[in-house]
Amino acid sequence: MSSEPGTGAAAVDERRRSLPDRLRVDIFAVWPVAVMILIIVTTALRSSRYLTVFNFENILSQIAPLGIVTMGQAVLLISGGLDLSVGYNIALSSIVTGLLLEHGYPLWLAIAAGVGAATGVGFCNGVLVAQNRAHPFIITLGVSIFLFGLDTQLTGGAPVNDMKGLYTAFGGNLPAGFPFFGLPSLAIPFVIVVLLAFAFLRWTPLGRRAYAIGGNEEAAYLSGIPVKRTKIYLYTIMGAIVGLAGMCLAGEINEASFNLAQNFELESIACAVIGGTALFGGRGGAFRSLQGVALWGIVLNAIVFAGLSSNYQQMALGAIIVVAVMVTRAQR
């Protein structure tokens, strides 16, 4: 008499063999968390001032603008793209807003113009990437150089000071007590962008298309996905995210300048890759990239507590990036 599927000794053996697979820990996904715990414990043992609310608020305020950009960069990396123009695009958005505020325009109009300028740059990046066979690295690098000249021309090389309402919004802390607990104001846009990026990649058709294009662009095209249009959408969304980051960063330091977000393009890519988002497309996510942002901030902070110079910060971060790329290659 035959047994039903999934019953009998053979099925029991199969379940036993599969049990270790279910219990196995994915070291590729958790290694940033393990490194963070090691750094936190080591630094806490060396300094009694490390495990304080003030210090972790400081870390949060430092990583929030970069974390916002990293969410957009992760989406592009998943789709097989990237954006090297984000640093000077952030500067452009802040400069446009700062100049309008300086000339007495309403805050809402200045913010809309600044975010709109960055979104327009993202749209142009998307069109250029979608319509040409050149790699996004080359196209967005060229746009970055163009924006550097434009930003410098707009400001004459001098910063725009006094961001008025932006500084009021993002330059301080939230109310003490529940539910904000005195966290930096930048925590709100940061958390919102992370959650939106997670929902976008997990549940929206456009997010699923990003994974498909990054995994195999030709197969995605043959399956009926509008590849060019999707890329334009993704780069335009990236531009809007960059514009928001520009508002946050300019408001935090109460200044807009051409070098406001220097190295953000490389640091955002590094954070996404450190967290487990593939540099070659098709794999990654918002929370994974968030791990990379958190590790980045904790390393910088720990080096400061160790009394080392910024040179050691760059050395440590460079080493982490190399390890992250090696881990990503091993995972593939």
Across 135-153, average pLDDT: 95
pLDDT of residue 263: 87
pLDDT of residue 7: 43
Q: Is residue 84 part of a domain?
A: yes
The count of structural domains within the chain is 1
**Does the structure show a pLDDT above 70 at 179?**
yes
Supply the mean pLDDT for the chain: 87
pLDDT of residue 110: 96
Across 143-153, average pLDDT: 96
pLDDT of residue 269: 92
3-state secondary structure of 173: strand
pLDDT of residue 330: 66
Q: Is residue 19 part of a domain?
A: no
**Does the structure show a pLDDT above 60 at 9?**
no
Q: pLDDT per residue over 42-86, tens digit each?
A: 999 988 889 998 899 999 999 999 999 999 999 999 999 999 999
Q: Is residue 53 part of a domain?
A: yes
Q: Is residue 240 part of a domain?
A: yes
What is the extent of the structural domain holding 99?
27-331
- Please give the residue that has the higher pLDDT: either 326 or 127: 127
Q: Is residue 216 part of a domain?
A: yes
Residues 6+ apart with CB under 8 A from 328: 28, 273, 276, 278, 279
Asked if 148 contacts 140 with a C-beta cutoff of 8 angstroms, the reply is no
Q: Is residue 81 part of a domain?
A: yes
* HSE-up (13 A, CA, CB side) for residue 288: 27
pLDDT of residue 16: 44
Q: Is residue 5 part of a domain?
A: no
> Where residue 175 sits, what CATH number does that domain have?
1.10.3470
Burial of residue 62, with CB atoms counted within 10 A of its CB: 0-12 exposed, 13-18 middle, 19 or more buried: middle
pLDDT of residue 4: 45
**Rg from Cα positions in the chain:** 22
Report the predicted TM-score, pTM, of the whole model to 2 decimal places. 0.89
Residues forming a β-bridge with 161: 255
Q: Is residue 9 part of a domain?
A: no
Would you call the peptide bond into 179 cis, given omega within 30 degrees of 0 as the criterion?
A: yes
Across 180-192, average pLDDT: 91
pLDDT of residue 282: 87
pLDDT of residue 246: 96
Q: How many CB atoms lie within 10 A of CB 2?
A: 5
Lowest mean pLDDT among 1-5, 114-118, 226-230, 283-287: 1-5
